[in-house]
Amino acid sequence: MEAWLQNFFTYLPDGTLYYLLIGLIAFGESLVAIGLLLPGSTLCVFAGFLALHGKGDILALIGVAATGAFGGDLLSYLLGARFAGPMLKSRLLANRLGLVRKSEFFFAAHGGKSVFFGRFFGPVRGFIPFVAGGAGMRPALFTGYSMVSAILWGLAYPGVGYLAGISWQNVQLWTGRFSLLILAALALTVAWIWWRNRK
């Protein structure tokens, strides 16, 4: 192991506290507005990279990342369902109404699928569940889309860091390729909906 990694490990907590930290990072990234301030995806990729070098267990990291992401979605959904009006007038969201409107448009265009795909688009990640709650999306439907996307997110980001962790350059390359794959899936979904609506 490289000396800088050994030195870096001394600054990180161990055991349960370390996994709790990763889970909180994933949770915070999925929260409305708060997620914009937290580079959770990058930190979870880096956690996977560290797991390759002996810091934590990759399966445990995947589990806590997915759980945190799902928990953040649920809280954002509940906040939207119960406090959307007051929160939109609050200082927290006053400067981010543009992102709220983009999320509303995305949700109106794609419904439940926006909860799934929104997970993989940084700026709207926490806003889509908030908008879904405010729009009255059925809890069971929201939970299904959110759970599947959270599991995939938890697999993807620490997994990319772990599998491509031979060098940090490889991590960046594979993260970019994964984003392209999500964009391609979204484009195919939009094309299919457009074609179906023309019939």
Distance (Å, rounded) from C-alpha 36 to C-alpha 19? 22
pTM passes above 0.85: no
Q: How far is CA 126 from the centre of its chain?
A: 8
pLDDT band at 183 (very low <50, low <70, confident <90, very high): low
Residues 6+ apart with CB under 8 A from 8: none
Choose among 146, 157, 124, 141: nearest CA to 23.
Answer: 157
**Whole-number percent of the chain with pLDDT over 70:** 78
Domain count, the chain: 1
pLDDT band at 146 (very low <50, low <70, confident <90, very high): very high
Q: Which two tokens stand for residue 137?
A: 């999306």
pLDDT in tens, 16-54: 999 999 999 999 989 988 887 888 888 898 899 888 888
* Domain housing 116: 3-198
Mean pLDDT of 174-194: 62
Contact 39, 1 (CB under 8 A): no
Contact 45, 27 (CB under 8 A): no
Average of per-residue pLDDT values in the chain: 83
